[in-house]
């Protein structure tokens, strides 16, 4: 077991040594079972504990960054496997579980048990948020839950690691005497001694009256007492607590996108520095070609800014995790901006680099063939476009209540773009009688407003001490 007194730098070196074999992993031939076994072996080292999201968030986030450095060679697979277990599955138990349930995470670690997260449903789709039709019916006679998928569309789908996981956290609508109490989380065994339990279809997971003990409900904030639903902490809906995993995930995804981009640029620059090109005045390195030289400089400046911003978000979120407090609305908004900006800027810069570096970008082993990693980042923990839509909707609602003044429009870019969008929305909604149609028609201006909001948020956030 790792000595807890290690400094973060010493710990990072230990983690690198434990994961160095990933860099040489042949992703073309390795099976998902073999990849899962590597994850189990990493779990058993205890380098990163299942409880470190709360106890040592610095290690949690650093581990995600270090693994993302392998992504130009490995693609997204192992990083996703890692974050699904540590953030979505174990992190939800940490956030919603009682003391006994959290202690079980140590047993998972010792045995190398892998977890997955069963939230998204087939009918709802990946962009729907917390739309949950799976049901957990409380049976007062047996004091158990009946977990069931009432329709084909209610089956859990797109469950990363679902084919090999031993445990899953299932989000289901808690039903007591026919009354729904909203999404709640349950820990469910998928396997016993390596064998798949009955009534479960992994990867796409459906439930047919699966009996769960009362202890399966992660009940830190809500429970069943005397067959009645009890909210233990006033003003703390379980629905909101399930969403907490989005915040840690968004920071980790933002950092992963930046690490992938950094590694890809480093690999490409190393090649470009040594690649000689003919010129009328003698040989030049490929990296001295004006467009490449410029993109390397521009990328470094952008990376420095984004790493500082995301790092500040991580620090403040880590303080919340260790203290057990909820992040402020300002921090929540900043984390959303961090996720979108880090991912979208990384996609843009890597695409530009690919198109400027020449035939090198077509070769295997250069990292460009793994750019799907960034696509996964774009859709993970809240699709970037949907987050931008929300930013604009929230801002428009504010301005509808208190329209920007002419002075604001003259002096502030956000007020100027918002005023233009408000004017067009009003005219188009009046013409069609359909507000959503008006919103969709002006989608370019919607995203333009989101861009202005994000730039303003970053500038404001970084100016604070």
- Average pLDDT over the chain reads 91
Higher per-residue pLDDT: 128 or 406:
406
- pLDDT for 265: 98
Residue 440 vs residues 33, 420, 447: alpha-carbon distances, Å: 44, 15, 11
Instruction: Flag whether pLDDT at 2 surpasses 60.
Output: no
- pLDDT for 193: 66
Higher per-residue pLDDT: 268 or 358:
268
- pLDDT for 196: 58
Task: Map residue 189 onto helix, strand or coil.
Answer: strand
The Cα–Cα gap between 448 and 302 comes to 20
pLDDT band at 282 (very low <50, low <70, confident <90, very high): confident
- pLDDT for 34: 87
- Full-model pTM: 0.88
**Under the phi-then-psi rule, with left for phi > 0, alpha for psi from -120 to 50, and beta for the rest, what region is 277?**
beta
**pLDDT average, residue stretch 309-316:** 97
pLDDT band at 199 (very low <50, low <70, confident <90, very high): very low
Instruction: Flag whether pLDDT at 24 surpasses 80.
Output: no
Residues 372-389 have pLDDT tens digits of 999 999 988 888 999 999
pLDDT band at 325 (very low <50, low <70, confident <90, very high): confident
The Cα–Cα gap between 65 and 81 comes to 14
- pLDDT for 197: 57
- pLDDT for 298: 98
Higher per-residue pLDDT: 99 or 380:
99
- pLDDT for 29: 81
194 Cβ neighbours under 8 A, 6+ residues apart: none
Which has the minimum average pLDDT: 135-144, 180-189, 220-229, 236-245? Answer: 236-245
What is the torsion angle, in degrees rounded to the nearest 10, for the CA atoms of residue 419, residue 421, residue 424 and residue 425? -110
Higher per-residue pLDDT: 464 or 305:
305
Higher per-residue pLDDT: 3 or 330:
330
Instruction: Flag whether pLDDT at 72 surpasses 80.
Output: yes
Burial label for 139, CB within 10 Å (0-12, 13-18, 19+), is middle
pLDDT band at 33 (very low <50, low <70, confident <90, very high): confident
**pLDDT average, residue stretch 339-359:** 96
Residues 116-128 have pLDDT tens digits of 999 989 887 655 5
pLDDT band at 20 (very low <50, low <70, confident <90, very high): confident
Residues 228-248 have pLDDT tens digits of 999 887 776 776 677 778 899
pLDDT band at 14 (very low <50, low <70, confident <90, very high): very high
Residues 142-174 have pLDDT tens digits of 999 999 999 999 999 888 898 899 999 999 999
Residue 171 vs residues 105, 293, 300, 359: alpha-carbon distances, Å: 18, 49, 41, 47
Residues 421-442 have pLDDT tens digits of 999 999 999 999 999 999 999 9
Task: Map residue 133 onto helix, strand or coil.
Answer: coil
Instruction: Flag whether pLDDT at 202 surpasses 60.
Output: no
Residues 85-94 have pLDDT tens digits of 999 999 999 9
Instruction: Flag whether pLDDT at 200 surpasses 50.
Output: no
Closest Cα to residue 251, out of 61, 457, 54, 48?
Answer: 61
pLDDT band at 201 (very low <50, low <70, confident <90, very high): very low
Closest Cα to residue 341, out of 413, 254, 265?
Answer: 254
């Amino acid at each position: 077991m790792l000595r807890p007194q290690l400094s973060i730098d010493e710990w990072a070196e230990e983690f690198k040594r434990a994961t160095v074999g990933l860099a040489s992993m042949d992703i073309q031939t390795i099976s998902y079972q073999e990849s899962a076994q590597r994850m189990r072996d990493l779990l058993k080292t205890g380098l990163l504990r299942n409880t470190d999201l709360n106890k040592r968030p610095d290690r949690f986030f650093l581990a995600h960054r270090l693994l993302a450095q392998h992504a130009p060679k490995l693609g997204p697979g192992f990083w996703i496997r890692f974050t699904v277990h540590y953030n979505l599955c174990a992190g939800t138990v940490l956030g919603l579980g009682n003391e006994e349930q959290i202690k079980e995470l140590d047993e998972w670690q010792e045995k190398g048990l892998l977890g997955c997260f069963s939230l998204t449903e087939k009918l709802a789709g990946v962009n729907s948020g917390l739309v949950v039709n799976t049901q957990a019916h409380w049976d007062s006679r047996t004091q158990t839950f009946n977990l069931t998928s009432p329709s084909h569309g209610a089956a859990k789908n797109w469950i990363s690691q679902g084919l090999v996981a031993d445990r899953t956290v299932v989000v289901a609508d808690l039903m007591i005497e026919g009354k729904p109490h909203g999404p709640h989380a349950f820990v469910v065994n998928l396997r016993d001694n390596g064998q798949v339990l009955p009534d479960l279809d992994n990867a796409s997971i459906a439930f047919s009256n699966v009996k769960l003990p009362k202890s399966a409900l992660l009940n830190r904030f809500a429970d069943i007492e005397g067959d009645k639903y009890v909210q233990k902490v006033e003003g703390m809906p379980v629905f909101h607590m399930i969403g907490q995993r989005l915040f840690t995930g968004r920071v980790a995804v933002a950092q992963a996108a930046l690490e992938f981009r950094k590694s890809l640029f480093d690999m490409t620059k190393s090649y470009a520095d040594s690649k000689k090109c003919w010129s009328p005045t003698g040989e030049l390195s490929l990296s001295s070609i004006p467009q490449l030289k410029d993109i390397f400089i521009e990328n470094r400046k952008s990376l420095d800014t984004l790493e500082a911003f995301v790092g500040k978000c991580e620090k403040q979120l880590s303080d919340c995790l260790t203290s057990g407090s909820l992040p402020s609305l300002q921090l929540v908004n900043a984390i959303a901006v961090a996720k979108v900006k880090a991912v979208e800027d990384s996609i843009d810069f890597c695409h530009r680099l690919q198109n400027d570096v020449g035939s090198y970008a077509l070769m295997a082993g250069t990292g460009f063939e793994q750019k799907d990693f960034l696509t996964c980042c774009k859709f993970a923990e809240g699709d970037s476009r949907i987050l931008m839509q929300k930013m604009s909707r929230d801002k428009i609602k504010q301005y509808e209540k208190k329209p920007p003044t002419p002075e604001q429009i003259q002096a502030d870019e956000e007020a100027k773009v918002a005023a233009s969008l408000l004017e067009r929305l009003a005219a188009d909604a009046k013409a069609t009688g359909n507000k959503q149609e008006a919103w969709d028609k002006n989608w370019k201006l919607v995203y333009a407003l989101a861009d202005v909001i994000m730039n303003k948020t970053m500038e404001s956030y970084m100016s604070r001490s």
